[in-house]
Amino acid sequence: MSFRALLASRSSEGEVTTKLETLQDDALVDGNVDVDIAWSNLNYKDAIALAGFNIIQSFPLVPGIDFAGTVTASQDPHFKPGDSVVATGWNLSQTHNGGFAQRARVPGDWLINLPDAIDTRNAMAIGTAGLTAMLSVLALEQAGLTPARGEVLVTGATGGVGSVAIALLAALGYRVVASSGKPAEADYLRKLGAAEVIAREKLSQPGPPVAAERWAGAIDSVGGQTLANVLAQTSYRGAVTTCGFVGGRELPATVLPFILRGVTLAGIDSVQAPHGLREQAWKRLASDLDLNLLASTLSEIPLDAVPDTARQMLGGSRKGRTLVNVNR
Ligand SMILES: NC(=O)c1ccc[n+]([C@@H]2O[C@H](COP(=O)([O-])OP(=O)(O)OC[C@H]3O[C@@H](n4cnc5c(N)ncnc54)[C@H](OP(=O)(O)O)[C@@H]3O)[C@@H](O)[C@H]2O)c1
């Protein structure tokens, strides 16, 4: 059987290009579960992969770090034909063909059976970004955060992680403050549940190692000076999660927030997160996330629009979540 896929190749000069191709089933690589993909999505990691940033480690390869679809064949006892499943992270788009295709073959360990409340389209509306937002909320809860402790900050607010984090935290009863570089999107952020929107620049300039205590918790996907300032402004025994680096990989901070205020900094990795934690996160997404609200963050593109849309994402000009309809 043949299927359509976006195939990434690398030139001898190291430039990564993609082309829509028709592949045969023999292009499916190692795995014990076959899936007809219904939807994929676009994450920041996809954008940097297509820009040639050393994410894709073997060429040619189908990029796309996420997919959701229906099992068509399985040698894994946990899955049977007809099951709705989701895969995010692992080696997808690194060494294993990923989600920008109509078919995939993967190890069953990489798949999660979707909760009844989440269909394949909503699974990809959530995707790696939404899973990461949920893992961040779980880490804050594990560090003892409750709505009664005070305000929670979300940076990179209009992005995929930020948008879902705001919707989740607001639904759980937190007063959410959104930090964004897009003043025109303040209404969008308020509709998601932000009680207040602050300018990105307020956090991106060098500041003191400890400052007035404001945040009981924070979900940061920006990194760099922003994360250093967030730590400096976090209240006694508050907690901050870090998952991204759109604003820089460095962390120009001191130990003072940790040793004077007992602040917790929790690292979030969605790529190799253990299976049990993923199941817990998808269950919580099914119960805590308002899927109607999530719909307001969505845009939808066909497979051949992925490269151009990824470039816009790298420029920071997009908002919310981008679904990829692999059958268009
Ligand atoms: N650790 C993990 O497992 C994991 C999983 C998912 C994502 N991530 C990382 O998390 C980050 C966000 O991912 P995403 O999918 O949410 O990306 P995204 O949809 O592109 O959103 C990023 C947001 O960050 C803000 N931003 C962009 N450029 C910025 C800059 N130079 N300085 C400060 N803010 C900037 C923008 O929001 P505003 O305009 O509203 O400020 C943008 O919408 C990325 O670094 C990604 O690699 C990590």
For 17-41, the DSSP string reads: EEEEEEEEGGG--S-SEEEEEEEEE
Asked if residue 277 belongs to a domain, the reply is no
Looking at the fold, whether 95 and 132 belong to one and the same domain comes out as no
Residue 259 makes CB contacts below 8 A (sequence gap 6+) with none
Model confidence at 99: pLDDT above 90: yes
Determine whether the shortest distance from the Cβ of 87 to ligand 1 is under 6 A.
no
Which one of 137, 221, 249, 314 would you pick to mutate in the ligand 1 pocket, going by the greatest count of ligand atoms within 8 A of its CB? Answer: 221
Quick check: 182 and 319 in contact, CB under 8 A?
yes
Looking at the fold, whether 105 and 193 belong to one and the same domain comes out as no
Looking at the fold, whether 153 and 235 belong to one and the same domain comes out as yes
Which one of 126, 222, 246, 251 would you pick to mutate in the ligand 1 pocket, going by the greatest count of ligand atoms within 8 A of its CB? Answer: 246
Q: Which atom of ligand 1 is nearest to the CA of 45?
A: 47
Span from the CA of 66 to the centroid of ligand 1 (angstroms): 17
pLDDT value of position 317: 86
pLDDT value of position 29: 81
Distance CA 29, CA 110 (A): 14
Closest CA to 321 of 140, 147, 188: 188
* Per-residue pLDDT tens over the stretch 150-196: 999 999 999 999 999 999 999 999 999 999 999 999 999 999 999 99
Looking at the fold, whether 156 and 226 belong to one and the same domain comes out as yes
Report DSSP state, residue 101. Answer: B
CA distances from 79 to 76, 106, 226 (A): 6, 12, 43
Determine whether the shortest distance from the Cβ of 224 to ligand 1 is under 6 A.
no
Span from the CA of 313 to the centroid of ligand 1 (angstroms): 9
Looking at the fold, whether 258 and 167 belong to one and the same domain comes out as yes
* Residue at a domain's end among 267, 288, 310: 267
Distance CA 228, CA 257 (A): 10
pLDDT value of position 14: 86
CA atoms lying within 13 Å on the CB side of residue 269: 6
pLDDT value of position 143: 98
Helix intervals (H) in 177-316: 186-192, 201-204, 224-232, 256-261, 275-288, 291-295, 306-314
Instruction: Pick the residue whose CA is nearest to atom 6 on ligand 1.
Output: 129
Distance CA 320, CA 176 (A): 17
Q: Which atom of ligand 1 is nearest to the CA of 178?
A: 40
* Per-residue pLDDT tens over the stretch 38-87: 999 999 999 999 999 999 999 999 999 999 999 999 999 999 999 999 99
Tokens matching residue 318 = 């997009």
Determine whether the shortest distance from the Cβ of 132 to ligand 1 is under 6 A.
yes
Determine whether the shortest distance from the Cβ of 247 to ligand 1 is under 6 A.
yes
Asked if residue 287 belongs to a domain, the reply is no
* Per-residue pLDDT tens over the stretch 245-280: 999 999 999 999 999 999 999 999 999 999 999 999
Closest CA to 252 of 233, 268, 229, 234: 229
Determine whether the shortest distance from the Cβ of 44 to ligand 1 is under 6 A.
yes
Distance CA 58, CA 86 (A): 23
Instruction: Pick the residue whose CA is nearest to atom 37 on ligand 1.
Output: 156
Number of domains present in the structure of the chain: 2
Peptide bond before residue 60 is cis, with ω within 30 degrees of 0: yes
Asked if residue 192 belongs to a domain, the reply is yes
Asked if residue 29 belongs to a domain, the reply is yes
Looking at the fold, whether 138 and 104 belong to one and the same domain comes out as no
CATH number at residue 108: 3.90.180.10
Residue 221 domain boundaries? 127-267
Looking at the fold, whether 236 and 300 belong to one and the same domain comes out as no
* Residue at a domain's end among 250, 267, 284: 267
CATH number at residue 175: 3.40.50.720
